[in-house]
Amino acid sequence: MPLRKVDQGTAALLFVMGAILVGCDAEKSLDSERLQPNFLFILVDDQGWNGTSVEMIEGDSLSRSDFFETPHLEALADSGMVFSQAYAAAPVCAPSRYSIQFGKTPARLSVVRVGMNTDHIQHEALLSIPKALAGVDSNYVAGHFGKWGMGSHPSILGYAHSDGPNQNKAGGFVNDRSQWTVQPKEDPKRIGELTRSALDFMAEANASNRPFYLQVSHYAVHASIQATPGQLEIFESKAAGVRHMDSGFAAMTADLDAGLGALMRGLDSLGLRDNTYIFYMSDNGSVPNIPGAKPYTRSLNYPLSRGKWDAMEGGIRVPLVVSGPGIAKGAYCDQPVSGCDILPTISQLAGRFIGGDSTLDGGSFHGLLFEEDEATVTRLTDGLIFHVPYRNGIALKRPHSAIRQGDFKLLKFQDTGETYLYDLSVDAGETTDRTAQFSQTSEALERQLDAYLHSVKAPKWAEGITWKKHPLESFNSYH
């Protein structure tokens, strides 16, 4: 989809953001060269792999939306690399966010669902992204604005500037049926507010001549659905797509994209764009349908299967775009990467390789970013591990785990021990069990999955255990 001019639908939101850009320009550094790069990590909430107008697979129209419009993300993709097979570490927000911060799987951290008691996590003792960067250069300053979704304060992880440990409700989430009916708002999901805070932070860091790590963690596009009246009017009059058709959700997506555009202009105004690595990623896949708990025949994530809450492709494969100095423009990478890989990758981009850490599950994809010959991602485990050891009433309703290795993915239901093997190179929709054809591969992957879960003492499903609210030790159920 071609990049289009900003329309009247975004005018109100961009007006709120615009004034701060003037201040950014006034404080523009005369010397934009820095010894260390800056990092801007934009984490969006519940955005599906094909929930934007960027093709996640080059030339594949099914890998982008047929209704939503994200021209600023298109521009970011044109300036950097799109990862066609990027994965969140979990199909829900809290475990995924833990993995991004600490480079460990939810299974290792024993954080497997939203609403868990996290008293067992020694947040202050773990290596986080800000702490890793401080280990490279103590002059790094870190900021976080938006949804936190973790059981600590951001300052404990090294974020010197933040708006606190916010959860979904801070972004207007209401857990009833009204969440699926669009609400017109002048600043939907606080997109403008978060953007202003981010621009202020970047301007202050620039004025202090300090390299920064800035995490803008949007409440969009998680329900409750909110959008500016102008964008809502545009999409209510636009012909619906075949796969995507909800005008409120489309308008909210466009408002989120307007926030991205304001951040890009802010970097340009400060003269920081050429020395800043920008990551754009979702914390998990999209809800499979709207309303979220309504039965459906085809997921919004189609051609991927199912969606948020499940370790099927629609729940864990997510958009990931990375742009920055030295990264090829308009490039695509089809090697699988994970949210667990973000910490070691950012650390190496800053100059410190931490691949020898025996407690990190993630590996650096630094070599992939720069298209090095035969580049790969080296991790403790050969493959990506997913662990969902509980029954979710609005999803698969069965505890399950999965391992992705090469083109194959093994799904194991923990209540019965059933396994299914999928060849994702020809079956991203996970429709055909290949166990009979590749029985040895299936057996090997199951052994590897079981061994990993045992090695990290992952929470083990048992009848009646929900893993919510009570201390982990009180359940006494581990692999």
Specify if 246 maps to a domain: yes
Residues 341 and 419 in one domain: no
Domain tally, the chain: 2
Pairing mode of beta strands 276-282, 86-87: unpaired
Residue type at 127 in one-letter notation: L
Nearest to 177 by CA among 291, 286, 45, 309: 291
Please enumerate, as own/partner, the contacts of 418-422 that have beta carbons within 8 Å and a separation of 24 or more.
419/446, 421/445
Nearest to 339 by CA among 149, 471, 192: 149
Residues 429 and 357 in one domain: no
Residues 360 and 393 in one domain: no
Rounded Cα–Cα distance for residues 151 and 117 (Å): 8
Residues 60 and 209 in one domain: yes
Rounded Cα–Cα distance for residues 266 and 302 (Å): 35
Count CB atoms within 10 A of the CB of residue 418.
12
pLDDT tens-digit series, residues 119-159: 999 999 999 999 999 999 999 999 999 999 999 999 999 99
For residue 33, what pLDDT is reported?
Answer: 45
Q: Residues in the chain with pLDDT < 50? A: 1-9, 11-12, 14-16, 19-34
209's CB contacts (< 8 A; 6+ apart) are 29, 34
Specify if 376 maps to a domain: no
Q: Decide: 284 and 318 in contact? Cβ < 8 Å.
A: yes
Q: Among residues 338, 369, 400, which one ends one of the domains? A: 369
Residue ranges making up the domain that contains 102: 8-369
Name the burial class of residue 74, with classes exposed (0-12), middle (13-18) and buried (19+) by CB atoms within 10 angstroms of its CB: buried
Specify if 1 maps to a domain: no
Residue type at 370 in one-letter notation: F
For residue 322, what pLDDT is reported?
Answer: 99
Residues 361 and 401 in one domain: no
Rounded Cα–Cα distance for residues 418 and 24 (Å): 57
Specify if 26 maps to a domain: yes
Q: What is the CATH number of the domain that holds 424?
A: 3.30.1120.10
Rounded Cα–Cα distance for residues 255 and 205 (Å): 26
Q: What is the CATH number of the domain that holds 200?
A: 3.40.720.10
Residues 341 and 423 in one domain: no
Count CB atoms within 10 A of the CB of residue 10.
22
Residue type at 52 in one-letter notation: T
Residues 246 and 320 in one domain: yes
Residues 314 and 448 in one domain: no
- The packing angle between helices 93-102 and 342-350, to 10°, is 30
Specify if 328 maps to a domain: yes
Specify if 380 maps to a domain: no
Rounded Cα–Cα distance for residues 320 and 325 (Å): 17
Specify if 374 maps to a domain: no
Nearest to 308 by CA among 65, 116, 46, 84: 46
Question: CA-CA-CA-CA torsion for 300, 302, 304, 310, nearest 10 degrees?
Answer: 30
pLDDT tens-digit series, residues 290-305: 987 777 889 999 999 9
Tokens of 155: 């300052």
Tokens 């833990």 identify what position?
A: 98
Q: Among residues 314, 342, 369, which one ends one of the domains? A: 369
For residue 13, what pLDDT is reported?
Answer: 53
Residues 169 and 302 in one domain: yes
Q: Among residues 369, 394, 420, which one ends one of the domains? A: 369
Query: CA quadruple 45, 49, 50, 53: dihedral positive or negative?
Result: positive
pTM of the model: 0.93
Specify if 126 maps to a domain: yes
Residue type at 278 in one-letter notation: I
Rounded Cα–Cα distance for residues 333 and 419 (Å): 29
Residues 328 and 412 in one domain: no
Residues 140 and 281 in one domain: yes
Residues 172 and 202 in one domain: yes
For residue 83, what pLDDT is reported?
Answer: 99
Rounded Cα–Cα distance for residues 252 and 169 (Å): 17
